[in-house]
Amino acid sequence: MITVDRPRNCEKKIGFETRMPRIPLRRSFDIIKLSYHGCNNRPFFHIVLLKNISKRNAPPIEMLGTYDPMPNMYNEKLVSLDIDRIKFHLASGVALSKPVEKLLGLSGLLPVHPMSFITAKRNRQKLEEQAKSQAEQEEEGNADKS
């Protein structure tokens, strides 16, 4: 849908009807997404509610949690979620970014994201291949010795 903007006072002066078509404004809606609050080589994310058109680290409408993607000494990645507020925003039809959808899927709040299953399958395949090649190498080594 292209709207043509015609300033009325300009029309008479310039004297022609058609002007360059303007690009329409982007549709604006609320979205829950990650904003980067780490520093160099130390990622740390806030889970925030923002307008889709605002900048990544813009002051959020609401902060809904945090996500630390670097495993701690117990090999855990920590996620905190403000469950009550997230449920409220979901009910009022907010959009979710893909990483947030995956996190909520893993937390058991939403159904598991299909992409998580696919990555899991790929990782398993990779591991199987690694194990296979390792076994072959060992067999070759044994054959050489004997």
Partner 1 sequence: MAASIPFRATMSYSKLFTQLAHLKVRWRGFASSSKVLCASSEETASPSYGNTTERDPFPIFVDNEVQDLLSKITGFDILKVAGPHKRHLEKPKYRLLTDAELKGEMAAARDRLSKRLQIPPYMNPRKPNVTPLAVDPDLAHFDTSNYVFTDVTFGIKDRDRTVVVRETDGTLRIAPWDVRDRMNQIYNPREGKEYLKPQMFDEKNLERMIWEKKYVYILDRACCQFEPDDPDFIRTTHRVYKAVDSAGDHDDLRSTRHFGSLAFYLVWYKMADSLLLDMLKRDFASDAADLVKLYSIVHPQSACTTSLKQLSSDSNLAAVVQVYIDTTSTLSSELQLALQALEDAD
Chain contacts with partner 1 (rule: CB under 8 A): 29, 31, 52, 65, 71, 74-85, 87, 90-91, 93-98, 101, 103, 106-112, 116-117, 119-121, 123-124, 127
Q: Please give the order of strands across the beta sheet that includes 30-36.
A: 62-68, 45-51, 30-36, 95-96
Give the span between the Cα atoms of 106 and 114, in whole angstroms.
11
Location of structure tokens 């905190």:
80
Min separation Cβ 139 and partner 1, Å: 25
Min separation Cβ 119 and partner 1, Å: 6
- CB nearer to partner 1: pick between 54 and 107: 107
CA-angle at 133, arms to 127 and 134, nearest 5°: 85
- CB nearer to partner 1: pick between 59 and 114: 114
Give the span between the Cα atoms of 65 and 32, in whole angstroms.
10
Min separation Cβ 135 and partner 1, Å: 19
Q: Decide: residue 99, CB within 10 A, 0-12 exposed, 13-18 middle, 19+ buried.
A: middle
- CB nearer to partner 1: pick between 28 and 133: 28
- CB nearer to partner 1: pick between 6 and 77: 77
